[in-house]
Structure 1
Amino acid sequence: MAKGRNRRLIHAAVTTQNIISIILLSLIAIVTLTFSIAILLRNAALRKENEAYRAQLDSIQEEGYYTVSETDEMVSQAYEGGYDLARQEVLDSVQKQLESGTGITTTVRSLFPDQILIAKDGRYYFIPIDRSLSLNSFTDTDFAKNSSGVLEYKGSNAAVLGTFGIDVSKFQGEIDWEKVADSGVEYAFIRVGNRGTSTGKIVEDEYFEANIKGAIDAGIEVGVYFYSSAVNDEEALEEAKFVLDAIKPYEVTYPVVIDVERPEGSDYRTQNVTQDQMTGIVRKFCDTVKDSGYTPMIYGNNETFALMLNMAEVEDIDKWVAFYNVPLYFPYEFSIWQYSASGKIDGIKGEVDFNICVQKGW
């Protein structure tokens, strides 16, 4: 009896295990079948998407679109064509300017708007414009000369003065200042003197006293200038003190100016002065003038301001720029523009410099 019961129990256990195994195998088969069906469905969907993309590409090609290689080729051709067109436009512009009588230097300058072009010693210098500094905001049409050769401001900025003035020295000889005043001159810069470009000796202008007295008596406001040949700060201080002593008896309402230029020829004492040294010389002169209660100013041309001086170091000082063509070619802010060295006016025999003052910060 016991053996029979044990056999039945063993048989029942085996049967149960078989059933469980069958169930597990069935579940695995169902999962596998489900996964296979999912893969088949996904493949079918991908085939449909692929067919849709292919149809879209066929449609694009039929509408005239291009392959990547075709597009690259067309871009290359367009670039070459654009380069040739731009080159031809530049050549046409140069030819047009030269045929109209525009000088070579002026023509070349128009091609480099971000640089100051200096023609010097048979070569060109290209100096980048420092756009972090205060810039000249006038346009080419803001100024025009009247029938007397006097430059007038034609722009719309009511803050611009546009006043007429001259600067004189011994080279103008005796001046009838009453006639000068009647001609509309509102201010005059009188040369106090100069330092010899080779000797280094300071000399007072022989007409200084006559000119400053005559101008003031005629009701013309005056400023003064000194032609500098200083080679160091000590000489700059000497020049400033010379000027300040000379103007003590007079009412000087316009700036006290240091005239900084490169002399003609090769025998001049400042030829080896570096830009940093010249900037220091100018600062010494101007700071001394300012400390004495006057307004300092720098006179010069494009070479002065682009090559001889560091503009960033003298930005706070008023500028008097010499340029004898209209429009003005000077990128930075300025107060006075000397636009002619051959002006004619009643009261002065021969030629005299003409100036226009656009702003007066003194």
Structure 2
Amino acid sequence: MPRTALARLALLLTMASAWAAPPATAQEMHLSTRAAAFDDRDPVDFGRDVPHRLPVHGIDVSRFQGDIDWHAAARAGVNFAFIKATEGGDLIDPAFGPNWRAAARAGVLRGAYHFYYFCTDARTQARWFIRNVPRGAGALPPVLDMEWNPHSPTCQKRPAPAVVRREMNVFLNRLERHYGQRPIVYTTPQFYRENALGRVRAEFWLRSVAKPLAEVYPGQHWHFWQYSGTGIVRGIGGDVDLNAFGGTRAQWAKWVAQRRQ
């Protein structure tokens, strides 16, 4: 066989083996973690608890970020992304499908999140999320976004804390049964405090863009910190939320290996 043909055959075999390769091990994912090269339009001094000291960073996005160049974002250090999928019992973010597929093609680990609507029961909202978010290999755990929405034109309802926690557990339990992993809970300082969310069994993704998490959520264990709403990331036009994983690269690799669907 001519040398050029042998070279082509070797290349094809290499490509085929790459496509057929098993999922990355924790060590492989550890090695592939990219350092963040983000900027911030309105940076905050967090004192000693500087989020930039944490090695694994990512973003969360919705249709408001417009078209995203996910390959550019990945090169800038976006290691994970939480992508808005659904809201209430009948709304889907129109950018969810394109973002979900493009993030995966760029090698960004991604999970889908649901924005809770207090005028629709939890079972209906869980069914809506399950209907629209695929249960496929490689996804991070789903996320339940719990916060008051005082600007909602259709629902100003604020249930009692016990009702909030009960409805949350209905949603979390249904998704856990379907996806095989407990959803993460995202929340804000006010909502966490007013509804005693420390009583909820879940991993937490906490927002605090002005003070360290230990000061805002004393005693609460967390996995993700949303530390800015004014981030600047290559590939994204305008502001974007910035997030950090609360551990080392090795801990991130272990967490991902245990929780990817």
Q: State the TM-score, normalized to the length of structure 2.
A: 0.71
The Cα of 1:267 is off from its aligned counterpart by 5.5
Q: Alpha-carbon deviation of 1:184? A: 0.9
- Partner of residue 174, structure 1: 67
Q: Please give the per-residue CA displacement for 1:269-301, whole angstroms capped at 9, x wherever unaligned.
A: 352411111101111111111112133111111
1:217 corresponds to which residue? 105
Within the alignment, does 1:152 sit opposite 2:38 as a pair? no
- Alignment check: 8 A CA contact 2:147 2:191 kept: yes
Q: How many corresponding residue pairs?
A: 201
Give the 3-state SS of the residue equivalent to 1:321 in structure 2. Answer: strand
Q: 1:163 and 1:264 mapped to 2: Cα distance?
A: 32
The one of 291, 294, 308 aligned to 2:181: 294
Q: Give 1:250 shift.
A: 4.0
Instruction: Say whether 1:183 aligns with 2:68.
Output: no
Is 1:164 aligned with 2:57?
Answer: yes
Structure with more relative contact order (C-alpha pairs < 8 Å, separation 6 or more): 2
Q: Aligned letter for 1:330? A: Y
Quote how far apart the aligned CAs of 1:230 are.
Answer: 3.4
**CA distance in 2: counterparts of 1:266 and 1:253, whole angstroms:** 30
Alpha-carbon separation, structure 1, partners of 2:198 and 2:147: 15
Deviation at 1:178, TM superposition (A): 0.6
Percent identity between the two aligned chains = 26
Amino acid in structure 2 at the alignment position of 1:295: R
Q: Distance in 2 between matches of 1:265 and 1:184?
A: 33
Return the structure number with greater helix share. 1
Alpha-carbon shift at residue 356 of structure 1 (Å): 0.3
Q: Which one has a bigger Cα radius of gyration?
A: 1
Per the TM alignment, residue 308 of structure 1 is displaced from its structure 2 partner at its CA by 2.5
- Residues 1:327 and 2:236 are matched in the alignment: no
For the residues of structure 1 that align with 2:152 and 2:119, how far apart are their CA atoms?
16
Aligned 8 A contact 2:118 2:158 in 1? no
Determine if the alignment matches structure 1 residue 245 to structure 2 residue 165.
Answer: no
| TM-score using structure 1 length | 0.52
Q: Which runs of 4+ in 1 moved over 3 A?
A: 249-252, 265-268
**In 1, distance between residues paired with 2:185 and 2:195?**
12
* Aligned positions of 1:1-362 closer than 5 A: 141-144=48-51, 151-153=52-54, 162-195=55-88, 202-231=90-119, 235-248=121-134, 250-265=136-151, 269=155, 271-292=157-178, 293-312=180-199, 314=200, 316-328=201-213, 329-331=216-218, 332-359=220-247, 361=255, 362=259
| CA positional deviation for 1:203 | 0.7
CA distance in structure 1 between the aligned counterparts of 2:164 and 2:47, rounded to whole angstroms: 31
Structure 1: 5+ residue stretches without partners:
1-138, 145-150, 154-161, 196-200
C-alpha distance after superposition, 1:191-211 (max 9, x if no partner): 00212xxxxx52110000000
Query: Where do 5+ consecutive residues of structure 2 fail to align?
Result: 1-45
CA RMSD of aligned residues (A): 2.1
